Structure 1
Amino acid sequence: MTSESVYLDLNTLNATSKAAENKERILILTPLLKRNAIDHLDRYFELLDQSTYPNHLISIGLLVSTQDDVDPLLIAVQQMIQRLERRWFHAFHDITVYNKDFLYDFNNDDHSQDDFKLQPYRRSMMARARNYLLSSALEPDHSWVAWVDVDLASYPSNVFDDLMAHDVDVIVPNCLLATEDGSFWGYDRRNWQETDYSSRFQRTIGDDFVMMEGYDDQLATGRSRMVDMPTQVGIDYKVPLDGVGTSFTLVKAHVHREGANFPSFPLQHQVDSEGFGRMVRGMGYEVYGLPSYFVYHS
């Protein structure tokens, strides 16, 4: 058997504001760690199909956590992909399913005191899952990485083009809760800016204390969350952020390649996606949010 040498010139790999025009490939990553993910698969692929970004430039990586090869979620994902791959038009570049059991039940979504105590561990395990998916799926020709929740209800069809047009390292839209009456309810509270109060508070706690948003009854961090910012400023108005969620997050792939991932340990009092925000900022990269650009979570 003879070995073959491969030369990859990554100097020519760019992530630009004219991504579609330059035929830049995007990798969309979605961990499927909750059992109810099966209920959202049709809508997940329907929204991606409606995207104006060319499907042939889109790769999709899905992570299912199970040891059971007859797991209903795993079977549903495989059947969905088989249907999509039989299409001769509007096909995605590729769809890959990764199966890795993280031995944890991610189904508890209540905001009780017990859930609050479990959150650091749950987020640590989620961070490990994200890192596993990222390291498995990222290919040398991917210019962008998008983290997209499976249970989003809607987002603009041109969302990828709109976010890419800002030409920043990491950018997030404002993720709201989808309601029947169209009322304004913030969903992703992990997109935030530090304040003087939150910075002072962190000097009073131990290095291993994990700060979390969305649990105001148990922990008032005093941060400025994007879901609470004014939204009449226009969809292109962006604000710098210190922490980000991953309901819908667009990252230039070189940021991940150069070492920015999701810490499963407390990094400046954060783990998982908010720790990713810390890491990205610490590496000198830009992190921005768009308070008036909405995506909706189910």
Structure 2
Amino acid sequence: MMLLSEKATNLYTSSLRGNRRLIVFIVAIISFITLSFFTLSKASFSLGGGGGCGRTIRSLNEAVAFSSSTGSSNSNGFFSIHRSGSSAGQAKFINLNDLEATANAKEEQQHVLILTPVKNAEAYLERYFELVDRLSYPKDLITMAFLVSDTTDNTVQILKDKADEFLNRPNPSERYHEIAIYEKDFNFQLPEDKRHTFELQPLRRSFMARSRNYLLTAALREYHSWVLWLDVDVVEYPETIVEDLQSVDVDVVVPNCLLQTEDGSFWAYDKNNWQETERSIELQKDLDPDYVLLEGYYEFLTNRYLMVDMPTHLGRFKKVPLDGVGATFTLVKAQVHREGANFPPYVFQHQVETEGFAKMAKAMGFGVYGLPGYLIYHIRNS
């Protein structure tokens, strides 16, 4: 009888210990599930964009994404993840199918990026900013970006001062979307009186191409629909020129850039805007593939039809197809650059830099046009 009682007691004790282990195991599982639920809930909240992230909204697309807390792509194709804490950041998805460059760019609030490479440009900057600032295109849709190279004057400081002025005006409608100043030296020095000599042009233009490509890749943002290449020493153009060129609705378009003269006489400046002719094409058949053709030099006549020699009385918006362009004032749909057309620093179809860009764009199937009757003016360089 005593043995049976002890056996029952031992069995009860063993069962109790087993139940305790089972209870502990069950409690552990419940705790794990509860912790996982709260962790996933927090992640879902972050995925939806809830909670403060302490970021500064710097663009229209970011503002749209920040205001949407759906946790999925919205009508703008923008999806964002916000993480709280000291390592806050944002991953984003942008549907570039919705990014367009159209003839009604101003009404459709399309962003324009103005790109200007500069070197020792302090003498030209006052007029440059005066002209840009009087443009009728909305300032909050304009970004300006500069690449300063091998400069020894006060160009950088002037750019900084102007940027501070233009970005901090009391009236918000007079502030520009963004102004960026980049500096990249190529250690290429050329005396001013030698910058247009025939023999040095291929080398000079190659470095200019590198400068443009640096500026383009540094400044182009996902919300830019148009890219405007603008020389710092262009001294006169209409205030409506951006909308005017956009209204032509082609991939690449240039006005006719003349030399500013005291008596208002007609003198060509930008001779890099041209059409191939039967004679120029025939001439190229016998050229070495690495030979660079240059316009406006008596040392080697190309037999091309320059836009500065075309009729100007047919109206400002009479467009003509071109095979080469300069970049005194060149408006490009941003898609052209995004798809890979840039400024070759190497010989491409006997051209480099801007003319090489036109050749490349045409080889990719884009349209390149000029407006012989739309006149702008460039200062006479030394």
TM-score by length of structure 1 reads 0.94
Which of 200, 203, 209 does residue 282 from structure 2 map onto? 200
Q: How do 1:53-132 residues align onto structure 2 when only pairs under 5 Å count? A: 53-66=137-150, 72-89=154-171, 90-108=174-192, 110=194, 115-132=197-214
Residue 2 of structure 1 deviates from its aligned partner by 6.6
Paired amino acid for 1:103? N
Question: Counterparts of 2:149 and 2:330 in 1: how far apart (Å)?
Answer: 22
Letter of the 1:240 partner, please give it.
P
Matches within 5 A, 1:263-274: 263-274=344-355
Q: Is the 8 A contact 2:210 2:343 kept in 1?
A: yes
Aligned to 2:227, what secondary structure does the other structure show?
strand
Structure 1 residue 264: deviation in Å? 0.3
User: CA shift at 1:106, angstroms?
Assistant: 5.0
Change (3 A) 1:291 1:110: farther
Q: Give % identity.
A: 50
Q: Which residue of 1 aligns with 2:326?
A: 245
Alpha-carbon distance between aligned partners in 2 of 1:83 and 1:294, rounded to the nearest angstrom: 30
Residues 85-104 of structure 1: per-residue CA shift (max 9 Å, x gap): 23122111110000000111
Q: Distance in 1 between matches of 2:193 and 2:367?
A: 31
Offset from partner CA, 1:108-146 (integer Å, 9 cap, x none): 35577xx21111000000000000000000000000000
Deviation at 1:196, TM superposition (A): 0.6
**Among residues 177, 183, 191, which one is paired with 2:273 in the alignment?**
191
| Structure 2: distance between partners of 1:2 and 1:57 | 28
Match of residue 311, structure 2, among 230, 245, 250: 230
Shift of 1:72: 1.7
Structure number with bigger Rg: 2
1:79 Cα deviation after fit: 1.8
Instruction: State how many pairs are aligned.
Output: 291
Aligned to 1:278: 359
Give the corresponding residue for 1:219: 300
- Give secondary structure in 1 for the equivalent of 2:375: strand
**Mapped partners of 2:193, 2:93: distance in 1:** 46
- Tell me how far 1:58 sits from its aligned partner: 0.3
- Where relative contact order (Cα < 8 A, 6+ residues apart) is larger, the structure is 1
Cα distance between partner residues in 2 of 1:270 and 1:123: 10
Matching residue of 1:7:
93
**Does the 8 Å contact 2:195/2:204 carry over to 1?**
no
Letter of the 1:30 counterpart: T
Give the TM-score, by structure 2 length: 0.74
Separation in 2, partners of 1:44, 1:110: 24
**Residue 142 (structure 1) aligned with residue 188 (structure 2):** no
Distance in 2 between residues matched to 1:138 and 1:4, nearest whole Å? 19
**Counterpart position of 2:132:** 48
Corresponding position of 1:164: 246
Q: CA RMSD in A?
A: 1.5
Aligned residues of 1:67 and 1:100 also touching (Cα < 8 A): no
From 130, 133, 141, give the equivalent of 2:215.
133
1:170 Cα deviation after fit: 0.2
Which letter maps to 1:13? L
Partner of 1:287: 368
Q: Which of the pair is proportionally richer in helix?
A: 2
C-alpha separation between the residues in 2 aligned to 1:42 and 1:191? 27
Deviates more, 1:15-24 or 1:96-105: 96-105
Amino acid at match of 1:48: V
Q: Using the alignment, how far apart are the partners of 1:4 and 1:244 within structure 2?
A: 40
Match of 2:118 in 1: 32
Deviates more, 1:159-168 or 1:80-89: 80-89
Give the SS at the match of 1:38: coil
Which residue identity does 1:76 align to in structure 2?
I
In the alignment, the residues of structure 1 paired with residue 125 and residue 151 of structure 2 have an alpha-carbon distance, to the nearest angstrom, of: 20
Once the 2 structures are TM-superposed, how far is the Cα of residue 5 of structure 1 from its aligned partner?
Answer: 2.5
Q: CA deviation at 1:83?
A: 2.3
